[in-house]
Amino acid sequence: MSTFREIFENFFAKKGFFILAKIFEKKNIYQWAVLFIQKQLSCTNVKIYTLMNLKDYIHSIQDWPSKGVNYKDITPLLSNPQAFQLSIKGMVDLIESKTAMVAGIDARGFIFASAIAQKLGLGMLLLRKSGKLPPPKITFKYELEYGSDELEIKQVQKKDTEIILVDDIVATGGTISAACDLCIKAGYSVKQAIVLIDLVKIHAENFVLSNGIKIDSLIKLD
């Protein structure tokens, strides 16, 4: 997936319009420039999400909440209307098949799952931390690098209801793996898993969930 800057550098620079590209970029003439590029390349079917570079709105906080952790703060992205809208549009465009519900993982996954569900006209399923859902519910305990945690979900009303699993970020993959296993245990069919950010160097290169599906992401970071 190309960023706005990469499109400029790969197309305009080769054509000898590098200075023109920088003028466009400096003056933020995003929409006009993208349409121009699409016309020149005859690629109107190409999805261009980053009229702005979404990575610029994700800040790294070193040694928080504990020493050695490089926390990814998405509050700048959420507080910018255009960046937030583009992130939702990009995540929606990653969806490959129709499902009945969007499942959001506690807590920041709720933000993106609810926006995606609303945009697609689907219901939303909550995967909550222990003690947050009233009964009846199904609980799944899973191991983390340091200690353990639990997720809870409501029992499926119609067996094999198809869902899309959504979270804000995948690092080691422990939480989203547990969420997938819990959904399957509760009777849901997980068709796809989508996150905003994939920290590609933390989990295994060929990481997949227990049902064999890969995790699709809008942004990849080291």
**What CATH number is given to the structural domain containing 85?**
3.40.50.2020
Whether residue 20 has pLDDT greater than 80: no
The percent of residues above 70 in pLDDT, for the chain, comes to 76
pLDDT class of 66 with cuts at 50, 70, 90? confident
Average pLDDT, the chain: 83
Listed residues 29, 48, 67: the one ending a domain: 48
Whether residue 6 has pLDDT greater than 80: no
The long-range contacts involving 45-51, CB below 8 angstroms and separated by at least 24 positions, are 47/1, 47/90, 47/93, 48/2, 48/4, 48/7, 49/1, 49/86, 49/89, 49/90, 49/93, 49/218, 50/1, 50/2, 50/3, 50/4, 50/86, 51/4, 51/82, 51/86
What pLDDT does residue 33 have? 58
Q: Verify that 173 and 190 share a domain, yes or no.
A: yes
Q: Verify that 113 and 40 share a domain, yes or no.
A: no
What pLDDT does residue 10 have? 58
pLDDT class of 73 with cuts at 50, 70, 90? very high
Question: Which domain covers residue 28, as residue numbers?
Answer: 4-48
- Torsion angles phi and psi, residue 207, rounded to 5: -65, 130
Report if pTM > 0.75. Answer: yes
Q: Verify that 41 and 90 share a domain, yes or no.
A: no
Cite the active site residues.
108, 143
Q: Verify that 139 and 203 share a domain, yes or no.
A: yes
The tens digit of pLDDT for each residue in 84-135 reads 988 998 899 899 888 999 999 999 999 999 999 999 999 999 999 999 999 9
The tens digit of pLDDT for each residue in 197-211 reads 999 999 988 899 999
Q: Verify that 91 and 135 share a domain, yes or no.
A: yes
Our count of domains for the chain comes to 2
Q: Verify that 41 and 61 share a domain, yes or no.
A: no
Q: Verify that 86 and 44 share a domain, yes or no.
A: no
pLDDT class of 31 with cuts at 50, 70, 90? low
Q: Verify that 33 and 82 share a domain, yes or no.
A: no
Low-confidence winner among 47-56, 57-66, 102-111, 170-179 (lowest mean pLDDT): 47-56
Q: Verify that 112 and 216 share a domain, yes or no.
A: yes
58 closest CA partner among 164, 175, 204, 217: 217
Whether residue 24 has pLDDT greater than 70: no
pLDDT class of 167 with cuts at 50, 70, 90? very high
Q: Verify that 106 and 78 share a domain, yes or no.
A: yes
Q: Verify that 118 and 135 share a domain, yes or no.
A: yes
Higher pLDDT, 216 or 25: 216
Q: Verify that 10 and 64 share a domain, yes or no.
A: no
pLDDT class of 27 with cuts at 50, 70, 90? very low
